[in-house]
Structure 1
Amino acid sequence: MRNMIISMLLFCVGCTQIPDKVKPVNNFELDRYLGKWYEIARLDHSFERGLSKVTAEYSLNDNGSVRVLNQGYSAQDKQWKTATGIAYFIDSPTDGLLKVSFFRPFYGTYAIFELDHANYQYAVISGPNHSYLWILSRTPSLSEAIKKQLIQKASDAGFNTQELIFVDQ
């Protein structure tokens, strides 16, 4: 039993690591980040495979945690799929570094490493390693110039941007 608990603790700690070359943003303002975001692009992973019209909506819970509602449409199943999670800041609430869980007690990294600080209109998010990447926007599309800039930022941080999936909104 003791070994199982130690293994679970090590697993949970490992889930909140940050990939090399990823530095979460500073001067983060959660109130400005809350609300609906559209997924512009992502790296492939099983829990979003085949989904279009993907959005993430963030709201504040009474206890100060962040409610995460992810939604996407599966054309194959002809239905909407949703996942509700919870997120907490790992360090300071002014750093864009959170841990998020859709399957408690297991948490994963949610590192905001690029953000439109002026208007909170786009963001680039990393998971615990270079296999997880999302480009988000407040609108269903981004200008080509901004999209190119965000893809370059992700590439510079070590992500394989050739593998990005651009989401149909």
Structure 2
Amino acid sequence: MSRGSTMVALALLAALISGSEAAGFLGRQVSQGTCPNITNKEDFDAVPYLGRWYEQERYDIVFQSGMDCVNAIYSDMGNGYVEVHNTARTSYGDFTDIVGQAHVVEPGVLLVEFGGYVPALYHVLNTDYENFSSVYNCFEEGNYHWQYAWLLTRAQFPSEEVIAAGRQAFTDNGIDLDLFHVTYQGDDCPYLS
């Protein structure tokens, strides 16, 4: 897969998160029933959330298939907007990235936008800003719901206690931990400096 097509795939990931009907059917975590009643981090503050986050676990998503070394860097753009710079290594070993922006639309919820793609809601269930962030999205279509989840950490190699704290936010919101898969993070990853 070329760098350009991988970037398109990452941008389409944003569409998947958004709940758009066409993109949603391409996700992998689909179940009968409704989305859980979640609680976002009510006192969320975007300023201490800035910086680098490493993806430690995620629900399978077709457009992230085979990707590892996934991380995101959030930077202040001013006027309440944050630059979102996502990077990953593809299953072919290529580095890929995409840049967008986000802003808080309600407590604990950010609207993430990548040019030309459907905006996505990013629900921060919990974060301590220094160790972990538990991020979720779910939407319903008919009798089914599609859900996406990511456990992010500040450290490339976090402790078991940090992973447990991040996972607790999903448990507290009735989100299935069995659907998580570990994302490889290693010394050979092509991170931005």
TM-score over 0.5 for the pair: yes
Whether 2:137 is the aligned partner of 1:127: answer: yes
Match of 1:4 in 2: none
How many correspondences in the alignment? 148
Gaps of 5+ in 1: 1-12
Partner Cα separation in structure 2 for residue 29 and residue 88 of structure 1: 11
CA contact (8 A) 2:70 2:87 kept: yes
- Deviation (angstroms), 1:23: 1.2
Match of 1:10 in 2: none
User: CA offsets per residue over residues 89-124 of structure 1, 9 Å max, x none?
Assistant: 113xxx2211112254521110111111xx532110
Whether 2:50 is the aligned partner of 1:34: answer: yes
Gaps of 5+ in 2: 1-17, 21-34, 140-145, 186-193
Query: Which of 91, 101, 110 is equivalent to 1:98?
Result: 110
Query: Which of 25, 31, 38 is equivalent to 2:41?
Result: 25
Q: Share of identical aligned residues, percent?
A: 26
Match of 1:110 in 2: 122
Match of 1:69 in 2: 85
- What RMSD over aligned residues (CA atoms) do the two structures have, in Å? 2.1
Partner Cα separation in structure 2 for residue 167 and residue 14 of structure 1: 23
Partner Cα separation in structure 1 for residue 103 and residue 67 of structure 2: 26
Match of 2:3 in 1: none
Whether 2:146 is the aligned partner of 1:146: answer: no
Match of 2:72 in 1: 56
| TM-score (norm: length of structure 2) | 0.68
Partner Cα separation in structure 2 for residue 104 and residue 86 of structure 1: 12
Partner Cα separation in structure 1 for residue 70 and residue 85 of structure 2: 11
Structure 1 residues 166 and 105: alpha-carbon distance in aligned structure 2, compared to 1, 3 A threshold: closer
CA contact (8 A) 1:66 1:88 kept: yes
- Deviation (angstroms), 1:142: 2.2
Whether 2:94 is the aligned partner of 1:79: answer: yes
CA contact (8 A) 1:131 1:159 kept: no
